[in-house]
Amino acid sequence: MRVKKAVIPAAGFGTRFLPATKVVPKELLPIVDKPTIQYIMEEVASSGIEEVILITGREKGSIEDHFDTSSELENHLRMKGRPDLLKIVQDISEMVTLVSVRQKEPLGLGHAILCAKKVVGKEPFAVLLGDDLIDAKIPCIHQMMEIYQDMEGALLAIQKVPRTKTHLYGIIKGKKVKDRVYSVEEMVEKPEKGRSPSNLAIIGRYILPPRIFELLEKVKPDQRGEIQLTDGLKELNKEIPIYGYEFIGDRYDAGDKLGYLQANLSFGLKHPEIGPKLKRHLKDLSLRFR
């Protein structure tokens, strides 16, 4: 079945990025000159997904504004004779049809996805985390939609991570069924050091069947009071197969200070306007640190 809708959860507090995220949502912090969530919206739009369900929360209204029309700004750019910037601004609001749903309290990723139940309805849908950036020639979610065409069940993006970092991720235990595709046997959320079943980490892209909503409704909150998506996925795996797909591309956790800076450097070096100057600056810096 074709995937036509995508859910982008963006209602978290972003505590790892305080104080920057006190009033500015982390999803709007720029990677060079574009907010993280705009890269994600572009990934969705260029993959042929028509409708996005944005999960927002308190202090997150500016995300909706970013994807709305801005007649004052557009008139100003028209008057100033800046058709180049006008096009950039207009393109943002025309990318996809956006429906926004408010998560009243950030009660976890599983709960955020559950907020999209009514709008998604009874079809498989994509999930892209609002702070997970993937730089790829073929957009990651598009790669996954291609794989999903020939399968039933659920599909998770996975990536090999160093063994020293497995405790930071949801990790799968799986059997390779074809190139880059694993059948998931087990999922462990943030395994203790030395107890990880593999180094295949779940990354913020999913294609899920609507059945996940009913299962998430039954998931009990964890010790922190959060409803975890992984718990819903574990229940789902008892009923239908779940696969992990090792995507092709570079991933940055833009909700984490280091990941955010790494993304800015990588995208900055490729940026036509600032790339060469940034490269020179990095060379100067590295000379200073010798």
Q: Of 77 and 139, which CB lies nearer to ligand UTP in the complex structure?
A: 139
Q: Of 148 and 260, which CB lies nearer to ligand UTP in the complex structure?
A: 260
Q: Is 103 in the site for ligand UTP (CB under 6 A)?
A: yes
Q: Is 184 in the site for ligand UTP (CB under 6 A)?
A: no
Q: Of 19 and 272, which CB lies nearer to ligand UTP in the complex structure?
A: 19
Distance CA 140, CA 239 (A): 26
Write out the two tokens for 41.
């919206």
Query: Which one of 7, 11, 41, 207 is in contact with ligand UTP (CB under 6 A)?
Result: 11
Q: Of 55 and 184, which CB lies nearer to ligand UTP in the complex structure?
A: 55
Q: Please spell the DSSP secondary structure of the chain, one letter per residue.
A: ----EEEEE-----GGGTTTTTTS-GGGSEETTEEHHHHHHHHHHHTT--EEEEEE-TT-HHHHHHTS--HHHHHHHHHTT-HHHHHHHHHHHHSSEEEEEE-SS---HHHHHHTTHHHH-SS-EEEE-TTEEEE-SS-HHHHHHHHHTT--SEEEEEEE--GGGGGGSEEEEEEEEETTEEEEEEEEESPPTT--S-SEEEEEEEEE-THHHHHHHHPPP-TTS---HHHHHHHHHHHS-EEEEE-SSEEEETTSHHHHHHHHHHHHHH-TTTHHHHHHHHHHHHHHT-
CB of 167 to ligand UTP, least distance (A): 15
Q: Of 103 and 159, which CB lies nearer to ligand UTP in the complex structure?
A: 103
Contact 41, 96 (CB under 8 A): yes
CB of 82 to ligand UTP, least distance (A): 32
Query: Which one of 14, 35, 124, 170 is in contact with ligand UTP (CB under 6 A)?
Result: 14
Which residue's CB comes closest to ligand UTP? 12
Query: Which one of 6, 41, 96, 112 is in contact with ligand UTP (CB under 6 A)?
Result: 112
**Of 168, 241, 237, nearest in space to 201 by CA:** 168
Q: Is 13 in the site for ligand UTP (CB under 6 A)?
A: yes
Q: Is 55 in the site for ligand UTP (CB under 6 A)?
A: yes
Query: Which one of 2, 15, 48, 186 is in contact with ligand UTP (CB under 6 A)?
Result: 15
Q: Is 129 in the site for ligand UTP (CB under 6 A)?
A: yes
CB of 54 to ligand UTP, least distance (A): 9
CB of 183 to ligand UTP, least distance (A): 25
Distance CA 133, CA 203 (A): 10
CB of 38 to ligand UTP, least distance (A): 14
CB of 57 to ligand UTP, least distance (A): 7
Q: Is 249 in the site for ligand UTP (CB under 6 A)?
A: no
CB of 52 to ligand UTP, least distance (A): 13
Length of the chain: 290
Site residue total, ligand UTP (CB under 6 A): 21
Binding residues for ligand UTP, rule: CB under 6 A, are: 9-16, 27, 55, 103, 106-109, 111-112, 129-131, 255
